[in-house]
A and B are shown apart, each in its own frame.
Chain A
Amino acid sequence: MLRQKTLEETKASARRASGNSASAAFYNNPNIRAIFYQILLVFGLGYFFYSIISNVLGNMEATGIKTGFNFLGASAGYDVLMSLISFESTDTYGRIFVVGFLNTLLVSGIGIFFATILGFIFGVAHFSHNLLIRKLALIYIEIFRNIPLLLQVFFWYFAVLSALPGARDSLSLGEAIFLNVRGLYLPKMVGGDLFWIAEVALGLAIAGIFVLRRWAKKRQDDTGKQFPVLNTSIAMVIGLPILALLLTGLPFEVEYPALKGFNYFGGITIIPELMALAIALSVYTGAFIAEAVRAGVQAIPNGQTEAARSIGLKEKKIMQLIIVPQAMRVIVPLLNSEYQSLVKNSTLAAAIGYPDLFNVFVGTALNQTGQAIETIFMTIIVYFAVNMLISFLMNRFNNAVALVSR
Chain B
Amino acid sequence: MAKNTLLTATTLATALVAAATTAQAATLDDVKARGTLSCGVSTGLAGFSEKNADGSWSGLDVDVCRAVAAAVLGDANAVQYKPLTAKERFTALASGEIDMLSRNTTWTHTRDTSLGINFAGVNFYDGAAFMVSKDLGVKSATELDGANACIQAGTSTELAIADYFRVNNMSYKAVTFDTSDQTRQGFESGRCDFLTSDGSQLAALRIGLADPSNAIILPEVISKEPLGPVARQGDDQWFNIVKWSLNAMLEAEEQGVTSANVDDMRDNGNPGNKRLLGSEGELGANMGLNADWAYQIVKQVGNYSESFERNVGKDSPLNLDRGINALWNAGGIMYAPAMR
Chain A contacts to B: CB under 8 angstroms = 1-2, 5, 34, 37-38, 40-41, 44-45, 47-48, 51-52, 55-56, 58-60, 62-66, 77-81, 89-90, 158, 162-163, 165-167, 180-182, 260-263, 265, 272-273, 350-353, 355, 359, 363-364, 366-370, 372
Contact = CB atoms under 8 A, between A and B. Distances in A.
21 contacts: A2-B1, A37-B3, A40-B6, A41-B5, A44-B6, A59-B20, A64-B233, A64-B234, A78-B159, A81-B173, A89-B166, A162-B185, A182-B148, A260-B146, A262-B144, A262-B148, A350-B178, A351-B178, A353-B175, A353-B182, A367-B87
B329 interface: no
Given A64-B233, A363-B178, A364-B176, 15 more contacts: A40-B6, A44-B9, A55-B17, A62-B234, A63-B116, A63-B234, A162-B185, A262-B193, A265-B146, A272-B191, A351-B178, A353-B176, A364-B153, A366-B154, A369-B110
Contacts of A48: 9-10, 12-13, 16
A158 B177 CA distance: 12
Contacts, number: 157
Contacts of A41: 2, 5-6, 9
Contacts of A366: 87, 154
Interface string B122-165: 00000000000000100000001111100001100011001100
Nearest to A265: B146
Contacts of B56: none
B159 A77 contact: yes
A105 to B, nearest CB: 20
A370 B90 contact: yes
Contacts of A2: 1-2
A37 B163 CA distance: 60
Interface in B89-105: 90-91, 94
Contacts of A163: 189
B173 A263 contact: yes
Best-buried of B12, B87, B163, B191 by chain A (most CB within 10 Å)? B191
Secondary structure at the A interface, as helix, strand, loop or mixed, is: helix
A361 to B, nearest CB: 11
Contacts of A359: 153, 176
Given A51-B16, A66-B114, A364-B154, A262 B176 contact: no
B190 interface: yes
A261 B146 contact: yes
Nearest to A37: B2
Contact of B174 (A79, A165, A182, A272): A79
B1 A5 contact: yes
Contacts of A55: 16-17, 20-21
B111 interface: yes
Contacts of A79: 158, 162, 172-174
Best-buried of B2, B91, B111, B113 by chain A (most CB within 10 Å)? B2
A55 B176 CA distance: 35
A51 B18 CA distance: 10
Contacts of B275: none
B230 to A, nearest CB: 12
Interface in B3-27: 3, 5-6, 9-10, 12-13, 16-17, 20-21
B232 interface: yes
A230 B251 CA distance: 83
Contacts of B9: 41, 44-45, 48
B115 interface: yes
Nearest to B173: A81
Best-buried of A37, A80, A262 by chain B (most CB within 10 Å)? A262
B37 interface: no
Contacts of A45: 9
B69 interface: no
A176 B24 CA distance: 64
B158 A166 contact: no
A221 to B, nearest CB: 54
B86 interface: yes
B116 A81 contact: no
A262 B192 CA distance: 9
B47 to A, nearest CB: 23
Nearest to B149: A79
B224 to A, nearest CB: 15
Given A44-B9, A367-B87, A367-B90, A353 B177 contact: yes
B218 to A, nearest CB: 14
Nearest to A82: B173
Q: Which 4 A-B pairs have the closest CB atoms?
A: A367-B154, A162-B189, A89-B162, A370-B115
A351 B1 CA distance: 45
A394 B153 CA distance: 36
A363 B193 contact: no
Contacts of B90: 367, 370
Contacts of A58: 20
Given A5-B1, A81-B173, A262-B147, A51 B154 contact: no
A51 B14 CA distance: 9
